[in-house]
Amino acid sequence: MRRLILSGIAAVLTLSAFGGVLKAEEPAWEDISRGNLNIQCILTGEEKSGVIFAGSSGSILKSNDAGKSWHRVLALRSREHKVNQLLFDPGDHNIVYAATDNGLYRSNNLGERWERMFKGRNRDESQCICLVILPYAVFQGTKAGLFVSEDNGRSWHKQDGVIGSVPILSIDYNAGENNYIYLASLNGVFSSSDSGKSWGRVFVAYAAEKESEESVDSEDRDAQERYSDIRFLKADPHNPGYLYLACAKGVYKSIERGKSWNKLSEYGLLSRDVLMICISSGSQVYALTRSGVFLYKEERWRELSFCLTAGKINYLALDDKGILYVGGEKGIFKSNLNT
């Protein structure tokens, strides 16, 4: 009997110690919202220490002190207008772009004053979802297709073919190969090797509702998510030709510019519906899913959001110092992954 009691105590101590290790590995999250809710996107100032931009319902917020305080720098006409992406000009971080449901905006003085540089002819064209800024052109993805400007936004032309008529979900490129551009659309992934002059499809989309095995309430998903299983595309900035594709059924990886794809392990994911991907300076892959935030390591996913109280999470961002940011219905949260 004594031996059994001692064995039981040892088991409890072992489990407690193991649990302590697990708990110690869980990242701590800091709420830097200061009362700002319903955050839709985040931009961190890599060269501007302490500068953070955030898109909320109908407005853009800015912090100059790493989230200790915030002030509004742009108000859209309606709170229903979302801010879908915020982006620095890679050649000048004083220039900031904002892709919104009310067109594309630009600021030349780090967000203090804004001008609208694109407004479409109809609602779908005005709904700017994503963009990339390259030395030779600006590529803007809208709900009505891809638009390109080769004169710094003074004029725009709509891309011919399929990608000029379907919603564009995300666009990316690799800084070492900026003639290669990649975009995820509602009906597939396309790539261009000649600076956007021609495009070829490298991944075909499938209807998410028919093929998804997960029971997700259709009211929680917009029409384009119910139509397509493609969610987001990210190029690894440190490995030319490496691409990651977030889908309703997991994450796919290509190491040859999209010519072939392999699916990453699903082990550890609580939901296969991956909404967004971030890549660290060490090429670690972070994913936002419907069930939380995850890190891919050693062919499995590890959840990072056990202690996160952001509610529904809309956006994931990572700065060059290893700080991970999330934006959601309950505000903005950050976690230092180096501690």
Give domain status of residue 24, yes or no.
no
pLDDT single digits (tens) 255-304: 999 999 999 999 999 999 999 999 998 899 999 999 999 999 999 999 99
Q: Which residues have a Cβ under 8 Å from the Cβ of 188 and sit 6 or more positions away? A: 201, 202, 203, 204, 205, 230
Is residue 209 packed enough to be buried (19+ CB in 10 Å), middle (13-18) or exposed (0-12)?
A: middle
The helix/strand/coil state of 5 is helix
In a domain, 134, yes or no: yes
pLDDT value of position 228: 83
Strand partners, 258: none
Q: What parts of the chain have a pLDDT lower than 70?
A: 1-25, 46-48, 207-227, 339
Q: Give dist(CA 57, CA 60) in Å, integer.
A: 8
220 occurs within a structural domain: no
In a domain, 123, yes or no: yes
Q: What is the largest CA-CA distance in the chain?
A: 85
Q: Using an 8 Å Cβ cutoff, are 140 and 131 in contact?
A: yes
Q: Determine the structural domain holding residue 314 and report its residue range.
A: 29-204+228-336
State residue 12's pLDDT score.
38
Give the pLDDT of residue 16: 39
* CATH number for the domain harbouring residue 272: 2.130.10.10
Q: Which pair of structure tokens corresponds to residue 226?
A: 């119910």
Write the DSSP string, 195-217: TTSS-EEEEE---HHHH--S---
The predicted structure's pLDDT at residue 262:
97
Domain membership flag for residue 222: no
Contact 257, 225 (CB under 8 A): no
pLDDT at residue 36, rounded to an integer: 97
The domain total for the chain is 1
Looking at residue 11, its pLDDT comes to: 41
Domain for residue 8, yes or no?
Answer: no
Cα–Cα dist 196/185, whole Å: 15
Residue 15: the pLDDT is: 36
| Whether the Cβ atoms of residue 163 and residue 182 lie closer than 8 Å to each other | no
Whole-angstrom CA distances from 292 to 77, 96, 97, 314, 327 are: 32, 29, 28, 10, 12
Q: Is residue 70 part of a domain?
A: yes
Q: Quick one: 303 exposed, middle or buried, by C-beta within 10 A (0-12, 13-18, 19+)? A: middle
234 belongs to a structural domain: yes
